[in-house]
Amino acid sequence: MHKIPFAWLNVTSDRQKLIFSMLAISFAVFLMLIQIGFKQALVDSNTAFLRLLDYDLVMISKRRYTSFIEQTFPRSTLISTRGVDGVLDSCPLYQTTSIWKPIGQALRRPIRVYAVSTHCRANPFRSAGIDPKLLQQDYSVIADQLSRPEYGSLKPGVEAELDRRRIRIIDEFQLGADFSTDGTLIISDATFLRLFSEQPTGIEGNPRQTLDEVDFGLIQLKKGGDLNHVKKMISQRLAKDVIILTKNEMISNEASYWNNATPIGFLFNLGTIMGFAVGVLIVRNLLTTELEVNASQYATLKAIGHSNRVLQKYVVQQGLLLCCLGLPGGVLLSHVVYDQVSRATGLNMRLNIHVVMVVGLLTLAIGAISGVLAAKKLVQIDPVNILETQG
């Protein structure tokens, strides 16, 4: 008697029961994939703009523990890095949140605005195909086409109101919404100053009346420059109120904040654990029921010499087989939901191979754990009592 054929025949002996079992396991897989998907979207969406930028090092205020907190530092500190050997350019980037209003509509929505100098030597948006030089015309903007549909059309040529001033969209890019903002615009630093010079900024709420207060300092190195050496050289010149990070460090810090410092990350982790627990409960009950229905068969196997340990292996194998059969259905359903959620919210939800592999391993763990728990019932099966009762 071979292990896998026995388990397979036992699992597939009742087709109606098999289909029910596959659907139940697919539901557990779906629960885990949805929670992990939202958690991944949380991190990916809130780090998307940082990944969009083309830079090697970034300078930020020490008080800026996450990118959307408006904490600035002096522009002169950033400019001083241009004298460091290996630095190609250091470009200031400004950030704020404003109010977007389509022309002729009463709807107003908050929108995130980034501003960049049109005179930077190195294009900080090169990798995204965005040309800041297009923004030299006053009150012109580049709009994110993956912003929420509630903003209306964001195609080039469209005019709207930004902070009660009329602006015109001249180009587009693709970014997507995140958990703090539904839309994004890019403007020039000159337009930024005209629009928001009196707008309170930072925790203190002081108006930013000049461009001397910078949100991010984007530093690009010359070709062949030593990243760690240049970072060390710049750090030695820095004032105590700013820090310098590599692009990977900045993204990692932002991801860590959303994962660990917010209740959202905790809730998604808890949801994944709950999905795993539901899966264990479902598969354990399925296997336990199968043991009860086929108690006489297991008693016969015991009577002819098969040990509890051998039979427990068969039960674990059945759990693994059930989970393998239920996995594709959960993945397929999740793929459909991912796509719909992404379209409806603008969040960056992708069912990639990494997520599928993680949930696949969790699903196999569900099968193994459930099999071990259900197999304990085998010890209670007494061949003599069961066979005498049937006789």
Residue 197 lies inside a defined structural domain of this protein: yes
Interval 74-124: pLDDT, tens: 899 999 888 888 888 899 999 988 899 998 888 889 999 999 988 888 888
Q: Is there a single domain that holds both residue 109 and residue 217?
A: yes
Distance CA 316, CA 361 (A): 15
Residue 159 lies inside a defined structural domain of this protein: yes
Residue 155: other Cβ atoms inside 10 A: 10
Q: Is there a single domain that holds both residue 215 and residue 68?
A: yes
Q: Is there a single domain that holds both residue 216 and residue 122?
A: yes
Q: Is there a single domain that holds both residue 223 and residue 276?
A: no
Interval 165-203: pLDDT, tens: 999 999 999 888 887 788 999 999 999 998 888 766 655
Q: Which of 202, 224, 239 is where one domain is finished?
A: 239
pLDDT at 155: 92
Interval 195-238: pLDDT, tens: 888 766 655 556 777 888 899 999 999 888 889 899 998 888 88
Q: Is there a single domain that holds both residue 216 and residue 72?
A: yes
Q: Which of 172, 206, 239 is where one domain is finished?
A: 239
Residue 244 lies inside a defined structural domain of this protein: no
Interval 280-303: pLDDT, tens: 999 999 888 887 777 777 777 777
Residue 164 lies inside a defined structural domain of this protein: yes
Q: Is there a single domain that holds both residue 127 and residue 233?
A: yes
Q: Is there a single domain that holds both residue 94 and residue 224?
A: yes
Q: Is there a single domain that holds both residue 197 and residue 117?
A: yes
Q: Which residues of 187-213 are buried (b: 16+ CB within 10 A; e: fewer)?
A: bbbbbbbebbeeeebbeeeeebeebeb
Q: Which of 239, 273, 288 is where one domain is finished?
A: 239
Residue 246 lies inside a defined structural domain of this protein: no
pLDDT(3) > 50: no
Q: Is there a single domain that holds both residue 89 and residue 13?
A: no
pLDDT at 1: 42
Residue 28 lies inside a defined structural domain of this protein: yes
With a pLDDT cut of 70, the percent of the chain lying above it is 92
Q: Is there a single domain that holds both residue 24 and residue 134?
A: no
Distance CA 382, CA 212 (A): 83
Q: Is there a single domain that holds both residue 75 and residue 22?
A: no
Distance CA 43, CA 37 (A): 10
Q: Is there a single domain that holds both residue 227 and residue 334?
A: no
Q: Which domain holds residue 346?
A: 3-47+262-390
Q: Specify the residue for token string 């905790």.
A: 266
Q: Based on the structure, what is the number of domains in the chain?
A: 2
Bridge partner list, 219: 57, 90
Residue 252 lies inside a defined structural domain of this protein: no
Is the pTM here over 0.85, yes or no? Answer: no
Residue 52 lies inside a defined structural domain of this protein: no
- Please enumerate in sequence order all residues whose Cβ is within 8 A of that of 82, keeping only pairs 6 or more positions apart, or say none: 89, 90
